[in-house]
Copies of this chain bind each other. A is one copy, B any other.
Amino acid sequence: MARIDRASTATDQRESGRQKVISTIRKSGQIARIDIAQKTGVSPATVTSITSELLKAGLIEEIAPDSKPDSRRGRPRVALKIRGDAHIVAGLKVANRNVMVALIDFEGNTVSEYTAALPASKLSPDDMAGFIETSVRAAAQEADMDVSQISGLGIGVAGIIDAPRGFVYWSPSMTERNVGLRDLVEARLPLPVFIDNDANLVAMAEQLFGMGKTVSDFIVVTIEHGVGMGIVIDNALYRGTRGCGAEFGHTKVHLDGALCRCGQRGCLEAYVADYALLREASITGSLSGQDPENATLDMLFRKAKSGDTTAQSIFHRAGRMFAMGLANIVNIFDPELIILSGERMQFDYLYADEVLEAMKAAVIQVDAPLPEVRIHKWGDLMWAKGAAAFAMDGVTDLAIRKITDAA
């Protein structure tokens, strides 16, 4: 039952006043009541009543006057901020070879991080749930906490996920299809659990803590082994109807083009992902002398930097294909902002000015300025923090619901 409630909340588009207020505070970092009223269009009276509820519930707090002379007449405004201690949430990312857990407080500060190697690259549903449980417990212990002090767990998995139902249609990390992973984990941990596809999680992280804070419509593109995309429209994550939209990496950029690991041809991923570049390198012998198993993008990148024209051309084409894919996104969505978000973005071939120029040249020209493209380099924790952001969203919802029900 709690499940259905949570799912329906996610669907519920209209933000109640309380949600509007708390998300405004979160986006602004710190903000006075009058400004909340102005930003949200809600009346000052209502802001007062809502914030006093939130204060009582401990979700936000007032900031001490700061002795900062406002140099303004009149009663000084008192700023509000999210109270970091209000909740601790956990985010967990299931990656290829390991599981990463981040504990963050309600302000988004990282409290602790934890990594554990996966026993195998594919686990059975039960083993996966068990491993998740163990990892979360270990992460809590490392932070000197009990799991009961954690208010929610967000899990990011690659694959096709039905987030509202907490259901995994398919994931490369699991031996079975169609797994109700949320239920399995909730049976093992006394926490509300939220699951989503990893690209969506990063979009959520950008929205809550990152560059998407100030923007209502933006797109996040992630490049690692594959190419992912998260879409935020009107402040809400957009997921397709079947939960498999935003497959930017499998967007086709060439008719009958290069073979992709998905089995189809011409996918963007087949031109820009690391395996695609290494494939080209191995064909041209650019990395000859290297054990192909261990050949890394690093080597190829160094070669290009040191003048190897073949290596350069490999990166060059990848960059141009990427530019074309990005331009298509702009032509279709016309977003305010595109965030290129990455964990290890040491290779700038995809983010070079040259690439962005090529993108601009392939975008419909209007008088209005082009959407901004920003590059966001995260630490190792990007994915886990994204998962935590998702949990935080859910936990905030639950907290607000609790207030509402009490009232």
* A residues apposed to B, CB below 8 Å: 13-14, 160, 169-170, 177-178, 217, 229, 233-234, 238-248, 250-255, 262, 264, 266, 320-321, 324, 327-329, 331-336, 361-362, 364-369, 371
Contacts and interface: CB of A to CB of B under 8 A. Distances in A.
Choose among A320, A321, A362 the residue with the greatest number of B CB atoms under 10 Å from its CB. A362
Contact of A244 (B266, B328, B334, B362): B334
B331 A250 contact: yes
A336 B28 CA distance: 36
A250 B364 contact: yes
A170 B366 contact: yes
Given A13-B234, A14-B14, A367 B252 contact: no
Choose among A170, A217, A367 the residue with the greatest number of B CB atoms under 10 Å from its CB. A367
Contacts of A233: 233, 238
Given A247-B364, A329-B332, 20 more contacts: A13-B14, A169-B367, A178-B367, A240-B333, A241-B334, A242-B334, A242-B368, A242-B371, A243-B334, A244-B334, A244-B368, A245-B331, A247-B331, A247-B332, A248-B332, A250-B364, A251-B332, A253-B255, A262-B364, A266-B324
What does DSSP make chain A's interface, helix, strand, loop or mixed? loop
What 5 pairs between A and B have smallest CB-CB spacing? A240-B334, A245-B334, A242-B368, A247-B331, A14-B14
Nearest to A14: B14
Contacts of A170: 366-367
Nearest to A325: B252
Nearest to A11: B234
A335 B253 contact: no
21 contacts: A13-B14, A169-B366, A170-B367, A217-B240, A239-B334, A241-B371, A242-B369, A242-B371, A243-B334, A243-B366, A246-B332, A248-B332, A250-B364, A251-B331, A252-B327, A252-B331, A262-B364, A262-B365, A264-B361, A328-B328, A329-B332
